[in-house]
């Protein structure tokens, strides 16, 4: 099979497996261990609550992203354009999946192009860190600019690559230096993101040391991309390894707690309900990223259903602010809360509290 055909098929299979729900983590993202304390005297009117936040010069109506998921096969164009249209209408952030397919086959660029229908939306391009190392900063930035992105998400995915078998990347040397070079160039905003295995304190420290300001922790607890690759494994040995890595990763709530030194923290991974988004913001996230569940809602009910689904997040975030006496959503992390259970244990063990 030619490389162009293979990458198209792989991207299409990724979406199909993710939508099936068969590749979810069997462990929790740990949002249930975060509880905000109700304040019966908030001394605040609902109309005084502000859920807006500004990122990369764009003011969003709520701290919500539709996280990058797909691109690189013909059907992805319709998905990305629908997601982007909803992001534009609701004034929230939006991202595409890895643009590596565009490098392999430039004819696939159209599957990432959404600016004509989302002229004002905050829009992030996407490229793997290994591809960044190989292409260099200039080419990587041009790739994002070619689709009209406001910034570039550089994704980290060594566990997923191992689970792909012989076709996956195996050499991750020089990746931190490549990120540093991109940051030092300084001519385009960069968000470093994981892809479902989360961020440890050590990686957070490494990224902060080279100047990264924006991070998407993309932790364990939602779709497991090692599981996605396992379910499409090319041979029994690869499948066996993938099953061992199925639940590999740092839970999303822990990853957020590990990343407090960054100017902006996007919490994604296992956010399917509004209360989980509230827990993430309470724990210190600046924004929440919704991926798999947004795609399922869109697929099953169309754009209007996705709009309604996302508006429940708006309402829950505003309600949480009011009921904790928090005027601005950016201060929700300061509201009184209890961190319990396994999350408390992780935080204590890692020295995060």
| pLDDT tens by residue, 248-304 | 999 999 999 999 999 999 999 999 999 999 999 999 999 999 999 999 999 999 999
The answer, yes or no, to whether residue 159 has pLDDT greater than 60, is: yes
pLDDT, residue 187, reads 84
In b/e form, how buried is each residue of 294-332, taking b as 16+ CB within 10 angstroms? bbbbbeeeeeeebbebbeebbebbbebbbbbbbeebbeb
The residue assigned the tokens 């063990």 is 349
Q: Tell me which CATH homologous superfamily contains domain 3-349.
A: Aldolase class I (3.20.20.70)
pLDDT, residue 5, reads 67
pLDDT, residue 9, reads 84
pLDDT, residue 3, reads 65
Tell me what the mean pLDDT of segment 24-42 comes to.
Answer: 96
- CA-nearest of 232, 241, 293 to 9 is 232
The answer, yes or no, to whether residue 1 has pLDDT greater than 50, is: no
The answer, yes or no, to whether residue 6 has pLDDT greater than 80, is: no
The answer, yes or no, to whether residue 18 has pLDDT greater than 90, is: no
Tell me what the mean pLDDT of segment 168-189 comes to.
Answer: 95
The answer, yes or no, to whether residue 348 has pLDDT greater than 60, is: yes
Query: Which carries the bigger pLDDT value, residue 23 or residue 91?
Result: 91
Helices (H), the chain: 3-20, 74-90, 100-104, 129-135, 137-145, 158-163, 175-185, 201-209, 225-230, 236-245, 252-257, 274-283, 292-323, 341-349
pLDDT, residue 167, reads 87
pLDDT tens per residue, range 294-343: 999 999 999 999 999 999 999 999 999 999 999 999 999 999 999 999 99
The answer, yes or no, to whether residue 7 has pLDDT greater than 80, is: no
- Which residues have C-beta within 8 Å of that of residue 240, sequence separation ≥ 6? none
Q: Specify whether the CB–CB gap between 141 and 166 falls below 8 A.
A: no
pLDDT, residue 176, reads 98
Residue by residue, DSSP assigns 37-67 as: PP-S-----GGG-B--EEETTEEESSSEEE-
Q: How confident is the model at residue 20 (pLDDT cuts 50, 70, 90)?
A: confident
What residues does each domain of the chain span?
3-349
Angstrom CA distances, 207 to 213, 232, 303, stand at 8, 32, 36
pLDDT, residue 352, reads 94
pLDDT, residue 13, reads 83
Tell me what the mean pLDDT of segment 337-350 comes to.
Answer: 98
- If you average pLDDT over every residue of the chain, what do you get? 95
pTM: 0.96
pLDDT, residue 2, reads 58
pLDDT, residue 301, reads 98
Work out the number of other CB atoms within 10 angstroms of the CB of residue 47. 7
């Amino acid at each position: 099979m030619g490389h162009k055909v293979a990458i198209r098929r792989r991207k299409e299979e990724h979406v199909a497996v993710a939508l099936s729900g068969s590749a979810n983590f069997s462990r929790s993202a740990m949002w249930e261990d975060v509880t905000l304390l109700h304040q019966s005297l908030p001394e605040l009117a609902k109309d005084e609550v502000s859920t807006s936040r500004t990122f990369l010069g764009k003011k969003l109506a709520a701290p919500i992203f539709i996280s990058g998921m797909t691109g690189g096969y013909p059907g992805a164009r319709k998905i990305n354009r629908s997601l982007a249209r909803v992001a534009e209408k609701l004034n929230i952030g939006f991202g595409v999946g890895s643009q590596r397919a565009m490098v392999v086959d430039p004819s696939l660029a159209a599957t990432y192009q959404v600016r004509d229908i989302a002229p004002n939306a905050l829009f992030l391009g996407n490229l793997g860190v290994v591809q960044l190392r190989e292409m260099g900063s200039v080419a990587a930035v041009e790739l994002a600019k070619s689709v009209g992105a406001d910034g570039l998400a550089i994704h980290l995915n060594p566990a997923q690559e191992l689970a792909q078998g012989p076709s996956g990347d195996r050499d991750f040397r020089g990746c931190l230096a490549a990120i540093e070079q991109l940051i030092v160039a300084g001519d385009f905003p960069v968000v470093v993101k994981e892809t479902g295995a989360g961020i440890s304190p050590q990686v957070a420290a490494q990224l902060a040391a080279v100047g990264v300001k924006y991070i998407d922790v993309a932790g364990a607890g939602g779709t497991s991309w090692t599981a996605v690759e396992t379910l499409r494994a090319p041979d029994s040995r690869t499948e066996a390894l993938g099953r061992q890595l199925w639940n590999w990763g740092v839970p999303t709530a822990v990853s957020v707690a590990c990343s407090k030194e960054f100017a902006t923290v996007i919490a994604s991974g296992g956010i399917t309900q509004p209360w989980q988004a509230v827990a993430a913001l309470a724990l210190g996230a600046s924004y929440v990223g919704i991926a798999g569940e947004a795609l399922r809602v869109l697929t099953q009910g169309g754009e209007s259903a996705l709009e309604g689904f996302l508006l429940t997040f708006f309402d829950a975030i505003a309600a949480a602010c009011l009921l904790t006496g928090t005027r601005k959503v950016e201060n929700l992390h300061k509201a009184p809360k209890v961190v319990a259970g396994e999350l408390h244990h992780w935080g204590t063990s890692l020295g995060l509290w």
